[in-house]
Amino acid sequence: MKYTKMKKLNAALFAAATAFTLFAPHQTLAFSFDKNYIISDTDMTNKNYLSAKGVREFLDSKGSALADYKTKDVDGKDRYVSDIISNVSKRYNLNPMLFLVLAQKESGAVTSSRVTASMDKWILGFGYCDSCTAKQAATYKGIANQFDSAGWQFRNRYLTDLENRGTTRSGWGPGKTKVTADGVAVTPTNNATAALYTYNPWVGAYGGGSSRYGANSLFSKLWQEWNPSITYPSGTLLQHENTVYLIQGGKKRRFNSKSALLANYGNQSIIKVPATVINKYQTGTPISFPNYSILQTPDSKLYLVVGDTLREFEDRESFKNSGFQASEVISVATREIVGYKTGKNISSKQTYPNGAIVRNQATGELAWITPENKGYAIFSKDILNNQFGTGFKSIETVSAEKYASFKVKQPLLLRDGTLVRTKNGKSIYVISKGKRLAFDSRAAFDAYGYKISNVIVVDQKILNLHPAGAKISLKKKTTTKKASATVKKAQTKTSTATKKK
């Protein structure tokens, strides 16, 4: 039976199953619905978005009974639902979050504290059609069969048809305008959106469609809430489980040791985030050693760690002149420095290979001299403490002539990731790539997970050293019609998924 309409599950059951998700008070990002673009193609097919452990952790965070629920998989073995979802995702190259959102949209299972008989049989409503006999529908009954059948359908029917012929068998495709079952004209902009409308050809309550069902607008709402589009500024420290990462240049850099974290970012706040946030970032070079560590490789070469760069000492004389001691050298395997960039070699003529704070003897001016002999003026104690901590290095007094040789022109700025405000100012900023990014509301500040206790107060002149950057906001650029306020018991609309052959 091709293109059979799925049988409507009991409306009261759906109202109860989805009520918590739809209307429970909680803080989320502002929701906007684009009927023509629900999720990206990459979002739909990112099979590595969550591991089996990540799926179970997500279910547990929602208070779901599914987190600890075991049932028979398609091979007859008992497995946790999280493992079943993970296996289906890998089998069909689909995002495990796709199945989690579908399960919530169709049966409210992800936030349910118990697994009902209906959920256990028809968690996705797949194959439960109006014209099907009980015997025909039985093929798809059961949690594992539901996920596997839906996965097969998305991969081997919808997405394959879209790639080969530009539309699904029911006519949904990018650039093809169709009217949904609730009377809304939709023109999908990508394959993922076309596939979702093929599975469920309704817009629903949150997008100007039928007020009786959540449908694809509910899918979009759940996706946005569960996969926040927050992008943390460079310099932010994020923690997932027991691992801390530095966000830098759009990548996450894992700290491989506590000493590297404390030495480099000891006084900076860390924001705890779920897997759905940390997995959005590509993996960058891990941070294994504290800044200005001395490393020795098996070939006896010596290197100075400066950020994500290794600078080789040209010879033993250059190392001796640097002021480092042999006891400070760390022996490492070659594999431990893979990923580090190669910087300029350190010669015996290098003035401050590990940097220094100097004071102009004549004027009292302070400057930070980098290992590359670049000078940056330090205009306040706030910046000094922020960059080097209250126990900063000793300050070397130098002659006016030597100070001038460093050509100090640019100011040293606050460290990336620093939260800051002025004494009388109302705005709070985070420093990123040397710029000050203002939060446009307290809600935005809170949504990112920052804490007021970590905000430092600086003089307006110090803040002004940092050019203004883009504001951090929860507002979205696109806006759409809001769901009717009368939809207080919105239900899901089950899919028009075709049978697997």
Decide if pLDDT at 8 tops 70: no
What does each C-alpha distance from 500 to 83, 140, 148, 151, 158 come to in angstroms?
22, 9, 10, 10, 12
For residues 190-208, give the mean pLDDT: 94
CA trace torsion 130, 133, 134, 136 (10° rounding): -100
320 pLDDT above the threshold of 60: yes
Q: Is the pLDDT of residue 136 over 80?
A: no
Does the structure show a pLDDT above 60 at 89?
A: yes
CB 430 within 8 A of CB 466: no
pLDDT at 285: 85
pLDDT at residue 189 in the model:
95
The answer, yes or no, to whether residue 28 has pLDDT greater than 70, is no
Confidence tier at 162 by pLDDT (50, 70, 90): very high
| Lowest pLDDT segment from 102-106, 340-344, 358-362, 401-405 | 340-344
Find where tokens 């990459």 sit. Answer: 42
Residue 434 pLDDT > 50, yes or no?
Answer: yes
Cβ–Cβ under 8 Å, residues 339 and 310: no
pLDDT of 10 over the 70 cut: no
Predicted confidence band of residue 19 (pLDDT cuts 50, 70, 90): very low
Contact, 322 vs 313, CB < 8 A?
A: yes
Phi, psi of 416 (to 5 degrees): -55, 140
Rounded distance, CA 402 to CA 406, Å? 7
- Environment class of 183 (CB within 10 Å of its CB; exposed 0-12, middle 13-18, buried 19+): exposed
**How far, in Å, CA of 202 to CA of 213, rounded?**
8
Residue 385: pLDDT over 70: yes
Q: How many CA atoms lie within 13 A of 204 on its CB side?
A: 28
What is the average pLDDT across 365-387?
90
Half-sphere exposure of 309 (CA within 13 A, CB side): 11
- Three-state DSSP state, 83: helix
- Side-chain-side CA neighbours of 442 within 13 Å: the count stands at 2
Q: Which residue has the higher pLDDT, 261 or 133?
A: 261
- Among residues 298, 342, 302, 344, the alpha carbon closest in space to that of 322 is found at 302
Q: What span, in angstroms and rounded, lies between the C-alpha atoms of 449 and 17? A: 29
Over residues 256-279, mean pLDDT: 81
Segment of 168-172, 279-283, 452-456 carrying the highest mean pLDDT = 168-172
Q: Which residue reads 């028809």 in tokens?
A: 122
Percent of the chain residues past pLDDT 90, beyond the cut:
52
Task: Identify the band that residue 240 occupies on the pLDDT scale cut at 50, 70 and 90.
Answer: confident
Please check the confidence at residue 439 and state whether its pLDDT lies above 90: yes
pTM, to two decimals:
0.64
Q: Which has the closest alpha carbon to 375: 416, 411, 415?
A: 411
Q: How far are the Cα atoms of 123, 129, 182 from residue 7, in angstroms, in the given order?
A: 13, 4, 16
Q: Is the dihedral of CA 11, 12, 15, 17 positive or negative?
A: negative
Residue 81 has pLDDT above 60, yes or no: yes
In this predicted model, which residue has the larger pLDDT, 465 or 50? 465
Residue 371 has pLDDT above 90, yes or no: no
Average pLDDT of the chain is 84
Residue 27 has a pLDDT of 41
Binned at pLDDT 50, 70 and 90, residue 54 comes out as confident
Q: In the block, which residue shows the tokens 């706030």?
A: 382
pLDDT tens per residue, range 251-263: 999 998 888 888 7
User: Quick one: average pLDDT of 463-473?
Assistant: 93
Position 191: which residue type? N
Q: Considering only CA atoms, which of 237, 267, 308, 270 is closest in space to residue 392?
A: 267
CB 493 within 8 A of CB 200: yes
What's the pLDDT band for 494 if we cut at 50, 70, 90?
A: very low
Per-residue pLDDT of 284-311, as tens digits, reads 888 888 888 899 999 999 999 887 889 8
